[in-house]
Amino acid sequence: MIKGKFPTDKFQSLETPFYYYDMDLLRETLKTVKKETENKKYSIHYALKANANPLILKEIAAYGFGADCVSGNEILRALQCGFPASKIAFAGVGKTDREIKIGLDNDIFCFNVESLPEMEAIERLASETGKTTRIALRINPNVDAHTHKYITTGLEENKFGLNEPDLPKAIELISRSSHLQLIGMHFHIGSQITDMSSFENLCVKALELQNWFSGRGISFEIINVGGGLGINYHHPNHCPIADFEAYFRLFGKYLKLQENQTLHFELGRSVVAPCGSLISRATYVKEGISKKFLILDAGMTDLLRPALYQAYHHIENISSGKEYETYDVVGPVCESSDVFGENISLNQSQRGDFIAIRSAGAYGETMASAYNCRELPASYFSDSL
């Protein structure tokens, strides 16, 4: 089995667990995205919620990408890390007045509006400041993303987005307001999508909706198809970069843009997941009745995805070259769901070995908690270790 390359000698003096980011891989990924989208009317907004570590954000901002934020504090973080306000979009179902004001005060690119009462709140706050603000309608396209139910967001009766029956009211509200400028449609159907036909269905639906709007004299500067491109969690060493070429080609084929129209993408996971690993030490090897447990010093508080949505992460013992054995790899937290993987094949492991949990750069560090009074994990970067 091929394993990832890690500077384990440099890890010796560090306390575990921590996140380790391969910055060369991040840059290769960003270059690939840039290459596949330049010379096209495509614009990339990186979704901060996947990883909001300032050093990661600065690197992404340096490539000229915009930011997709889902809270007021994410907007502030994006601004601090070099994303220009003119490239910040703000989504989320529960924007508070404080958060809307952060967006208005900084004159961000666009609010992606998810409900009628939210639109009324933005209109009221914008009129109080005398500003006109750009909005896009986040529409629930009722497209199945064929992914885990907790990360499916585009089916009907989901908390996200406006449903089609809301649209006539939305248009009416906008046409009555002198503070809202409608510039686009926004969609986001889910995350870790590997079935490309879901994106094809989204394109068909987006064009249908565009027709509906143009029948009412409304055209859009932007169509925003959200994020969701999946990565290969099973083979981090063979497939370190997602298939951006096929992804962007699909949209080129199925979503023909009008003159003066730009297609926006909000990529999160596919940009940052592969470059991050959670590095831990084995605390104990415990012989069970019919299994062996490898108990790590990292737990669900450091990387929640396996406990939250039964996510798979590839696990490697990066200290041992011994014969392979089978383990249940678990954390120390007092929850039965604190399990990183069952029946995992690892080089024979012992107390003190470094264990790498791969593809943890997205929805890893950002979801860390202090449950059980645990420390938040530190982060280190290949550039500066």
Ligand X SMILES: *Cc1c(COP(=O)(O)O)cnc(C)c1O
Q: Which two tokens stand for residue 57?
A: 């954000």
Minimal distance, residue 147 CB to ligand X, in Å: 9
Do 114 and 163 meet the contact criterion of CB atoms below 8 Å apart? no
Sequential DSSP letters for 31-51: HHHHHHHTTTTEEEEEEGGG-
List 188, 205, 281, 358, residue binding ligand X (CB under 6 A): 188
Check residue 364 for interaction with ligand X (CB under 6 A).
Answer: no
From the CB of residue 59, how many other CB atoms can be counted at a distance below 10 Å? 21
Do 274 and 240 meet the contact criterion of CB atoms below 8 Å apart? yes
Alpha carbon distance 297, 308 (integer Å): 19
From the CB of residue 111, how many other CB atoms can be counted at a distance below 10 Å? 25
Residue burial 193-221, b: 16+ Cβ < 10 Å; e: rest: bbeeebbbbbbebbeebbeebeeeeeebb
Check residue 202 for interaction with ligand X (CB under 6 A).
Answer: no
Q: Which is nearer to ligand X, 230 or 377 (CB)?
A: 230
Check residue 103 for interaction with ligand X (CB under 6 A).
Answer: no
Alpha carbon distance 289, 364 (integer Å): 32
Q: Which is nearer to ligand X, 50 or 113 (CB)?
A: 50
List 48, 50, 278, 304, residue binding ligand X (CB under 6 A): 50
Check residue 266 for interaction with ligand X (CB under 6 A).
Answer: yes
Check residue 226 for interaction with ligand X (CB under 6 A).
Answer: yes
List 47, 57, 100, 298, residue binding ligand X (CB under 6 A): 47
Q: Which is nearer to ligand X, 242 or 318 (CB)?
A: 242
Minimal distance, residue 378 CB to ligand X, in Å: 23
Per rule CB under 6 A, count of chain residues that contact ligand X: 18
List 77, 95, 179, 269, residue binding ligand X (CB under 6 A): 269
Check residue 268 for interaction with ligand X (CB under 6 A).
Answer: yes
Q: Which two tokens stand for residue 67?
A: 């930011």
List 66, 161, 228, 299, residue binding ligand X (CB under 6 A): 228
Sign (positive or negative) of CA dihedral 219, 158, 268, 227: negative
Check residue 118 for interaction with ligand X (CB under 6 A).
Answer: no
Task: Provide the binding-site residues for ligand X, judged by CB under 6 A.
Answer: 47, 49-50, 68, 70, 91, 188, 191, 226-229, 266-270, 362
